[in-house]
Chains A and B, each alone.
Chain A
Amino acid sequence: MTAAPDVATRTPFWRDLRTLRVAAQLLAVVVVGSVIYYLWSNLMGNLRAAGLSTNFSFLTQPLGVDIAGSGAGPGTPIWRGLLVGVKNTFALVIVGIPILTVIGTLVGIGRLSTNWLVIRICTIYVELFRNLPPLLIIFFFFNAVVLRLPLLENSSNPMGLLVVNNRFIAVTGFTAQPGLGAYWVIMGVTLLISIWIWIQRTRRWERTGRPHQRVLWSGGLLGAVGLIAFLLLGGPIALSVPVLDGRALAGGFRGLGSYFAVLVALVLYTASHVAEIVRGSILAVPRGQTEAANALALSPFQRLRHILLPQAMRIAIPPTISQFLNFTKNTSLAIAIGYAEITRITFQTIGNAQPAPQLVALLMLCYLVFSLTISVVVNLLNRRLQYVTQ
């Protein structure tokens, strides 16, 4: 036992924890601040010495390059070109994420199938794609697949629904016909009504325990109204089949070959990671759940649909978000095969003697906004899905 410290002897200020904490933080700020100041003054000096702009006024200068398939040419201001890049990155993300989620989930479930062949095929797919560099997969799909498609002059036209050549791939799309506006309004109102019915049916089921059949009620209403309105308005939406006339394409949705190469490569690469997450999450659901489902005589599909997947989904969401973010960031690899997404356009603009530091900063800002948006959206979803526990 030691005696209580003398009250009169106060801790000297250089050993006082409060002073030390403030001093340590001041020191950190001074060190980091002076490094940043040093780099900043070098940056400004070097930019001026190289005769480059030290602010963002260069963004109104002409781009100087042509962006294939966008209408932006050499005379377009740089900021417009960068926006085209953002749009092209977005086109990869918005199409890629749903597809890779579906493939990843199916393969992840497939690895836990009872069918030996399905397990083998899914395992080989996952192990093959997970362990290859994504850039190599992109090169493969571009150089060994897309560039080997027929030339524009002798495009192949399978079943009359697609136009395939080594420049672009056009798929059948839709075109607007008169009456589309009215159709949208009708369908919007019907959708709201069917959501209301869905909620009512669910409430009734929770109250009384009688079968809700909400899919039948809501989906049936939506389908019936959709069909009747479609017929009454004389077909407001028509199929638009791509037709190649000489070198010009009419109708359909058209995507560049490089777009499809990046999309397929990155979807397959990321889906192999998602498959592992899905498999791990299903395995992480306690075994008793499977056994209980079996004891209730649920069919394998019912067991998956009502017992395993809802619980596995809660485990899988956080790591899957990070795979979505990886997918978004990996779209930057499209630079290697010349697809005009944001990184590619930044790269080309730097090559046209525009100041690199500002452009790279803008590029990083774009990706930060992308990443933040995705993580906020999915986190909101995640919060709704998690169990509320005490």
Chain B
Amino acid sequence: MTTETVPATTAPATPKRGWVAWIRENLFNTWYNGLLTLILGGLTVAALWFAVRAVAGFDLTIIKTNLRLFMIGKFPASQLWRPWVSGALLAHAVGLGSGLVHSATRERAQKAGLPYIPSTVSDILSRFWPVMVLVVVILLLTETITPTIMVILVAGAGAGGSYLGRWLPSRLWGWVAVVALVIGGYMAMSAFGGVGWDAWGGLHLNLFLAVAGIAFAFPLGMLLALGRRSSLPVVRAMSVTYIEVVRGVPLIAILLFGAFAIGFLLPEGVRPSQVTRMLIAITAFEAAYIAEVIRGGLQAVPPGQTEASQALGLPPWKTMRLVVLPQALRATIPPMVGQFISLYKDTTLVAILGLTELLEASFIVNSQPGFLGKGLFLVTLAFAGLVFWVGSYTMSREARRLEKRLGVGER
């Protein structure tokens, strides 16, 4: 058998054409496309004109005076150092985590003898520019210099964590440090005379509910997914019933249950706060969706893997833990990010039950004495929308990127 090496060819050189040719090809290639271009072009220009005029006419005072309410709710002014310390600790944790992932990937690539291309600063910029733009916009709306300094310090803590994570000799201890930092971030907010989550608000509450909801729902969802794939009919029936009932009703129904009915199910005297009840409801809701995500991952593992490990004499739980789950969970990362995005957007629903998260905050500021009846809803909703949009858009792009890199569905 002879192998023939195909000489590296360069793509056929495309002749450089002027913009007239480009317009003819991309806007006026047929008569109906030309017509469409003219109509839509006119509408677009008009829409842009109105949008620019509306945005230019925005009176941003309402956002400037309420920025703190939007970000962290009604946090006591004397305790403001806490969110910053917590933010720095969490940024350090995230940085450390990404550094550890980086070093693990590098090591694996070296072992396999493959080239490892670390992501460059321009990569990071092109991936996260919306978030950076948002941070700059928010900082432009602040009235003192303190937040800018603090944001730089928090970003520094993140970058430091990432650098540390790359060169840490023991990755296990690195992950222990990540967990410790996350707990520290929570303690910095609440412990020693701080403010517990019952009094949190603003964007901070949205992020907390989304992260904690996913984190608490994950183990439950895993149990439900394994239950649904179990060979025991009773266990399977119970899992399927739970998953399908929860997936058949809207989140708001479960939140109503959390707000008004959970109290009835608990013994006398046990009455969790509203935020806790919302968290319970969100966890119960998310567990069903995460179960379906994990089930999808489990189904993506070829049955040959289970059979092979049985042939090697592994007991069922070891087959699951060492062979099936690691492969299944890899495939679940992109849909899990998707689930997180939809939960992040859905945390706005707690507004209906009276919690001052970002959307509710952007709503109630319109009834403050200075702004009542001025019709500034468009301004405040645009601000809240920008914040949600940036987070969701960036994460969905990351999910798509991960999907490509993990090669889900391609192997």
Residue ranges of A at the interface with B (Cβ–Cβ < 8 Å): 21, 24-25, 28-29, 32, 39, 42-43, 45-47, 49-50, 113-118, 121, 127-128, 130-136, 139-140, 143-144, 148, 325, 329-330, 332-333, 335-336, 343, 346-347, 350, 356-357, 360, 363-364, 367-368, 371-372
Q: Are B352 and A356 in contact (CB under 8 A)?
A: no
- Cα–Cα distance between A329 and B252 once the two chains are bound (Å): 9
- Residues in B with CB closer than 8 Å to A29 are 234
Q: Are A118 and B36 in contact (CB under 8 A)?
A: yes
Q: Are A116 and B257 in contact (CB under 8 A)?
A: no
Determine the interface band of chain B, counting residues with CB < 8 A from chain A.
Answer: 35 or more
- Residues in B with CB closer than 8 Å to A135 are 348-349, 351-352, 359
Known: A117-B40, A335-B352. A148 touches B375 (CB 8 A): yes
- Residues in B with CB closer than 8 Å to A128 are 389
- The contact of A28 among B234, B249, B260, by CB within 8 Å, is B234
Q: A355 — nearest CB in chain B belongs to which residue? A: B264
Known: A121-B44, A134-B345, A136-B359. A360 touches B257 (CB 8 A): yes
Q: Are A39 and B265 in contact (CB under 8 A)?
A: yes
CB distance from B398 to the nearest CB of A (A): 13
Q: Are A131 and B249 in contact (CB under 8 A)?
A: no
Known: A144-B381, A368-B249. A49 touches B268 (CB 8 A): yes
- The contact of B41 among A117, A136, A343, by CB within 8 Å, is A117
Q: Are A350 and B268 in contact (CB under 8 A)?
A: no
Contact string, B15-47, partner A, CB cutoff 8 A, digits 1/0? 000000000001101000100110011001000
Q: A124 — nearest CB in chain B belongs to which residue? A: B44
- Residues in B with CB closer than 8 Å to A49 are 268
Q: Are B33 and A114 in contact (CB under 8 A)?
A: yes
Chosen A-B contacts, 9 in total, with CB atoms closer than 8 Å, are: A24-B235, A42-B264, A42-B266, A43-B265, A117-B40, A133-B348, A143-B363, A144-B381, A343-B252
- Residues in A with CB closer than 8 Å to B392 are 130-132
Q: Are A350 and B253 in contact (CB under 8 A)?
A: no
Q: Are B381 and A140 in contact (CB under 8 A)?
A: yes
- Residues in B with CB closer than 8 Å to A148 are 375
Q: Are B248 and A333 in contact (CB under 8 A)?
A: no
CB distance from A347 to the nearest CB of B (A): 7
- Cα–Cα distance between A45 and B349 once the two chains are bound (Å): 30
- Residues in B with CB closer than 8 Å to A139 are 359, 363, 377, 381
Known: A28-B235, A117-B37, A356-B261. A343 touches B256 (CB 8 A): yes
Q: Are A25 and B261 in contact (CB under 8 A)?
A: no
Q: Are B33 and A364 in contact (CB under 8 A)?
A: no
- Residues in B with CB closer than 8 Å to A347 are 256
- The contact of A118 among B40, B245, B250, B341, by CB within 8 Å, is B40
- Cα–Cα distance between A25 and B234 once the two chains are bound (Å): 6
- Cα–Cα distance between A325 and B37 once the two chains are bound (Å): 35
- The contact of A343 among B253, B265, B385, by CB within 8 Å, is B253
- Residues in B with CB closer than 8 Å to A364 are 245, 248-249, 253, 257
Q: Are B250 and A332 in contact (CB under 8 A)?
A: yes
Q: Are A42 and B248 in contact (CB under 8 A)?
A: no
- Cα–Cα distance between A250 and B27 once the two chains are bound (Å): 47
- Cα–Cα distance between A273 and B58 once the two chains are bound (Å): 30
Q: Does B403 contact A (CB under 8 A)?
A: no
- A-B pairs, top 6 by smallest CB distance, nearest first, are A356-B260, A329-B250, A131-B392, A116-B26, A133-B345, A25-B234
Q: Are A130 and B348 in contact (CB under 8 A)?
A: no
Q: Are A360 and B232 in contact (CB under 8 A)?
A: no
- Residues in B with CB closer than 8 Å to A368 are 245, 248-249
- Cα–Cα distance between A21 and B257 once the two chains are bound (Å): 35
